[in-house]
């Protein structure tokens, strides 16, 4: 059983990596509050994990809206009394796909608002409760904070901001609250989408072998690390960015 004391708030916990994190924590006896903007996905999680009904809740939340965040945190506290951890996982990628010259300010602001400002707002409103429990925060960034494909400026900037926000919060909130960050690489989330968007994982040998680990990552690979960073087992770790990418960012490629 986990050493995490109290409920863990997981933003974006109704699909993808966040759902994998929520599932892993629940299976290890940790109460979970899922804060997600997608009501369909959230309600589906409640039905899917009915056996954990006493240890979970879902509340529809827009992490870029402070009133919505405040309400989501208050709902978690009302239900579980103690907040022992926060996982800032919610994130979006702009569907723009064009060059920086054509990227609309509205699209830029929405990505930064959800991905980066959302982390700030959750930390702001969860901190008083985490101080009491001497809990921990784990922010989910991306290897895109360290390397890029073309035309991903908003997403890369938001994830790089999360890495910097992580060490800033670690210094500001320590020693009562530890704050760390995970930067996932390629994580296959198709099977972890809501049923209307779920896809079977299909990977070629080339997909797998471009990772030095020889596999494509799965949400469980991130979830187990999240649990570790929230637990007492990582009591001497704070302000760090853990890269979990099967070694891809260390692989030199010459064409």
The DSSP call for residue 197 is T
Task: Please state, as a whole number, how many other Cβ atoms lie within 10 Å of the Cβ of residue 98.
Answer: 12
Give the position of tokens 């040998």: 205
Residue 226 Ramachandran class (φ > 0 left, ψ -120 to 50 alpha, else beta)? alpha
Closest CA to 1 of 24, 28, 36, 27: 28
The DSSP call for residue 217 is B
Q: Which tokens is 64 given?
A: 């870029």
Give the position of tokens 């080339």: 206
Among 49, 80, 155, 192, the one annotated catalytic: 155
Cβ neighbours of residue 161 closer than 8 Å, sequence gap 6 or more: 112, 115, 116
By the 8 A CB rule, do 39 and 196 touch? no
C-alpha–C-alpha distance, residues 228 and 235, integer Å: 10
Does 254 participate in catalysis according to the annotation?
Answer: no
Q: Which residue numbers are catalytic?
A: 155
């Amino acid at each position: 059983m986990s050493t995490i004391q109290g409920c863990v708030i997981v933003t974006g916990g109704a699909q993808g990596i966040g759902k994998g994190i929520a599932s892993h924590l629940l299976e290890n006896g940790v109460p979970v509050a899922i804060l997600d903007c997608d009501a369909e996905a959230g309600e589906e999680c409640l039905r899917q994990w009915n056996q954990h009904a006493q240890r979970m809740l879902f509340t529809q939340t827009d992490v870029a809206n402070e009133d919505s965040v405040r309400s989501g945190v208050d709902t978690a506290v009302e239900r579980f009394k103690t907040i022992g951890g926060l996982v800032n996982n919610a994130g979006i990628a702009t569907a723009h796909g064009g060059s920086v010259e054509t990227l609309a300010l509205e699209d830029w602001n929405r990505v930064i608002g959800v991905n980066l400002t959302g982390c700030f707002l959750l930390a702001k409103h969860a901190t008083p409760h985490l101080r009491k429990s001497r809990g921990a925060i784990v922010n989910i960034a991306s290897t895109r904070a360290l390397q890029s494909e073309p035309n991903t400026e908003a997403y890369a900037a938001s994830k790089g901001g999360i890495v910097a926000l992580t060490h800033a919060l670690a210094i500001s909130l320590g020693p009562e609250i530890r704050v760390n960050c995970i930067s996932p690489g390629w994580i296959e989330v198709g099977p972890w989408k809501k049923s209307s968007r779920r896809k079977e994982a299909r990977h070629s040998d080339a997909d797998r072998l471009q990772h030095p680990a020889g596999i494509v990552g799965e949400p469980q690979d991130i979830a187990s690390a999240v649990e570790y960073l929230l637990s007492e087992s990582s009591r001497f770790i704070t302000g760090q960015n853990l890269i979990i990418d099967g070694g891809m960012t260390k692989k030199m490629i010459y064409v």
